[in-house]
Amino acid sequence: MILLFLSSNTPFITNMRHNKDITIYDIARELNISAATVSRGLKNNPVISEETRIRIQELAALKGYRPNTVARNLRRQKTNAIGMIVPRLDSYFIATVLAGIETVISPAGFHLIITQSFESVQKEITNTIAMFNSRVDALIVSLAADTTDISHFEPFWSKGIPVFFFDRVCDKDYCQKFVIDNYEAAYALTSHMISQGCRKIIHIAGNTTKNVYYDRMNGYKNALTDHGIKVKPSYILVNNLSLQAGIVAAEKILALKPLPDGVFVANDLCAACCMQMFKEKGLRIPEDIAVAGFNNDPVSRLVEPRLTTVNYPGELMGKLVATCLIDKLNGKSPADFSPLQIIKSELLIRGSTSRI
Amino acid sequence: MILLFLSSNTPFITNMRHNKDITIYDIARELNISAATVSRGLKNNPVISEETRIRIQELAALKGYRPNTVARNLRRQKTNAIGMIVPRLDSYFIATVLAGIETVISPAGFHLIITQSFESVQKEITNTIAMFNSRVDALIVSLAADTTDISHFEPFWSKGIPVFFFDRVCDKDYCQKFVIDNYEAAYALTSHMISQGCRKIIHIAGNTTKNVYYDRMNGYKNALTDHGIKVKPSYILVNNLSLQAGIVAAEKILALKPLPDGVFVANDLCAACCMQMFKEKGLRIPEDIAVAGFNNDPVSRLVEPRLTTVNYPGELMGKLVATCLIDKLNGKSPADFSPLQIIKSELLIRGSTSRI
DNA sequence: ATGAAAGCGCTAACAC
DNA sequence: GTGTTAGCGCTTTCAT
């Protein structure tokens, strides 16, 4: 008795079983009907009589039938899988986008296949090919840092498989992309810093071949120019925005004479890191030097003073991307669907720049 | 001429094409050989002559052949997909585990299908079924907050499909799980706080039906007891460890008389949040009240003072999980493979608890 | 309302 | 070294 009980509960024993999956044919045979009828009955095809439908579904449940998605996909030439390629997963922003996408996609019957490019085009290309071969129904991409050529997506386009870019998008007009107005946000942020009396503002940018960092840098530059402040190329530092890079950058800044009175960093983590370094050197934030970040990462609310930043609505963006994608896959894409979708961001002014 | 150029580059035009995939049969026909030979040649089966192999591969490349993974999966009864179910994606810890898993799995020819349970068993069950139906070759799971019954994994076990748990694992002995020694880490951390003169230590725990929070709480309790300090149930707060929850908890703590002299929070984000609240009320950290977290989230290094915490090596854990899994799938699982794998964690003593 | 049959693209056992 | 053949499990005309 106990043995029986165990045998239905411990994988050690049940592992041995490897009992074969039951198919629509098994059900058909047992019910003395055809596989076609079973197939129809299982998916509530109204053409099947109530009675047979019930018999089919009951037996299926009883025997623990599970539809074979692989066979179904092969037959229908459709996988219900959406591929996703992102630079890294360990970023709060990406995680929120993912969360948004998943909430929309999953109820719609799709699932996500996720890979990371680890900021390398090479890996991105490999992943793209793998996705293509696994026949994903669509692709959602945020580009790697060193991606300039995007011809690896060509196979998707030439087969009419949707490729949606978000955040780090390609520069081609015909690409479907979802972004915030990085230029505008950076312009507003920089203007705010100027309004707080900052005149010597450093900008720490990420890889400026990417639209996000390029646009933020330009927003910074133009805000300066428009306020009659000359842009000093030496005031623009480019790195990968990691904590380590933040330490190096902060040291560079601390060595400058005269000391700058503001630093606008293209992400929050690196900004927080710089701010910490400044504080450790005895500088007061924001009086001696104001610091601002970008993204509204939780860290921005936890450091002292709280970090001025730009709210980047990742989850919202994810939901929008996913909604548009599902619509497109279901063929009910509105005619006026613009290839460039801009999501509203928002300047969050906090202690780290409030000097007045 | 220009039109031709465009037509090979813009999706608007190529979208129209939807050119059919070419198959091994197309290649076979064109080369006047059999599909079987093409199949063999494509995968460098040594039984095929060098010459035909080259001819096959060249034509395949020329015609832009792509293997149909779906058909292959159906035929081989194997998907090379590994399912993953996690509570949420927007946690630094989870992201690092994922990164670790992905680096191992991808070169081994597998890909990840990721879903979130959003801390709900119901969603976890739905996801589990979906994974089962899509025939993943294995499952990697960190349980939702309210999962107690784990019978939804039974179908996997009864079919001999590996299910590996990490971090938030099930309590059954026969489950394969990967954890750190949460008890030991919390014990060490609490002991450290006591050694720094803390006597009235609050513990903020997550859902204690989960091993991770239960074990941390017990480590805390036993450390107190072993040092002759009585455990006060009112000193143990349970919440979901979010920032919002941190604010509420901090307020509760601030209202206590006498004021506690230490707070050990089960994650860093919530700990940082509490610390911030304390500081705003004019308390000095760690002199008036010491604060410690758990996980070694980047935020722990950016707040002031830096947060004492436990390094939870997520990436390492991910790599270990993935390596074991791949080995198992390839049938070269060592005989002595223990169902319980404990990864070493590490106490990181920083400013927020250094009172001596 | 139900069934027969073809085929999605690939692989592998078996033959030669 | 290469070909033949028989499916993997399902869907979907086309019949009846």
Give residue-wise pLDDT tens across range A214-266. 999 999 999 999 999 999 999 999 999 999 999 999 999 999 999 999 999 99
Q: Are residues A193 and A172 in the same domain?
A: no
Asked if B186 contacts B226 with a C-beta cutoff of 8 angstroms, the reply is: no
Q: What is the CATH number of the domain that holds A213?
A: 3.40.50.2300
Does residue B356 fall inside a structural domain?
A: no
Three-state SS sequence of B66-82? CCCHHHHHHHHCCCCEE
pLDDT higher than threshold 80 for residue A6: no
Structural domain that includes position B327: 79-180+314-343
Q: Are residues B319 and B258 in the same domain?
A: no
Does residue A351 fall inside a structural domain?
A: no
Q: pLDDT per residue over A45-65, tens digit each?
A: 999 999 999 999 999 999 989
Does residue B355 fall inside a structural domain?
A: no
Establish whether the CB of A14 is closer than 7 Å to any nucleic acid atom in strand C. no
Q: pLDDT at position B182, please? A: 98
Q: How far is the CA of A22 from the C1' of C4 (A)?
A: 22
Establish whether the CB of A35 is closer than 7 Å to any nucleic acid atom in strand C. yes
Count structural domains, chain A.
3
Q: Are residues A111 and A212 in the same domain?
A: no
Domain boundary among A40, A67, A94: A67
Asked if B269 contacts B243 with a C-beta cutoff of 8 angstroms, the reply is: yes
CA max distance for chain B: 89
Q: Which amino acid is at A123?
A: K
Establish whether the CB of B43 is closer than 7 Å to any nucleic acid atom in strand C. yes
Establish whether the CB of B33 is closer than 7 Å to any nucleic acid atom in strand D. yes
Does residue A118 fall inside a structural domain?
A: yes
Q: Are residues B209 and B158 in the same domain?
A: no
Quickly list H helices, chain A.
2-7, 11-14, 24-31, 35-42, 50-63, 69-76, 92-105, 121-133, 154-158, 182-195, 211-226, 243-254, 268-280, 299-302, 314-329
Q: pLDDT at position A13, please? A: 31
Which protein residue has its CA closest to C1' of D1?
B48
Radius of gyration of chain B (CA): 27
Give the residues across from A82 on adjacent strands: A112, A138
Q: DSSP for A177-239?
A: EEEE-HHHHHHHHHHHHHHTT--SEEEEES-TTSHHHHHHHHHHHHHHHHTT-PPPGGGEEE-
Does residue A356 fall inside a structural domain?
A: no
Does residue B31 fall inside a structural domain?
A: yes
**CB pairs < 8 Å spanning A and B:** 172
Q: Are residues B153 and B166 in the same domain?
A: yes
pLDDT higher than threshold 80 for residue B55: yes
- For helices A69-76 and B69-76, give the axis angle rounded to 10 degrees: 140
Establish whether the CB of B29 is closer than 7 Å to any nucleic acid atom in strand C. no
Q: Are residues A20 and A53 in the same domain?
A: yes
B3 — pLDDT class (breaks 50, 70, 90): very low
Does residue A334 fall inside a structural domain?
A: yes
Does residue A354 fall inside a structural domain?
A: no
Q: Are residues B327 and B265 in the same domain?
A: no
Q: Are residues A197 and A89 in the same domain?
A: no
Among B91, B96, B134, the residue with its CB nearest the CB of A111 is B134
Gap between the Cα atoms of A334 and A322, Å rounded: 15
Spatial strand order of the sheet with B81-86 comes to: A340-343, A176-180, A163-166, A138-141, A81-86, A111-116, B111-116, B81-86, B138-141, B163-166, B176-180, B340-343
Q: Are residues B260 and B330 in the same domain?
A: no
Is residue B188 helix, strand or coil? helix
The Cα of B273 is separated from the nearest Cα of chain A by a number of Å equal to 6
Among B69, B116, B276, the residue with its CB nearest the CB of A99 is B116
Average pLDDT for residues B190-206, to the nearest whole number? 97
The Cα of B304 is separated from the nearest Cα of chain A by a number of Å equal to 7
pLDDT higher than threshold 70 for residue A19: no
Mutate to test the interface with A, among B12, B21, B23, B89 (most CBs of A within 10 A): B89
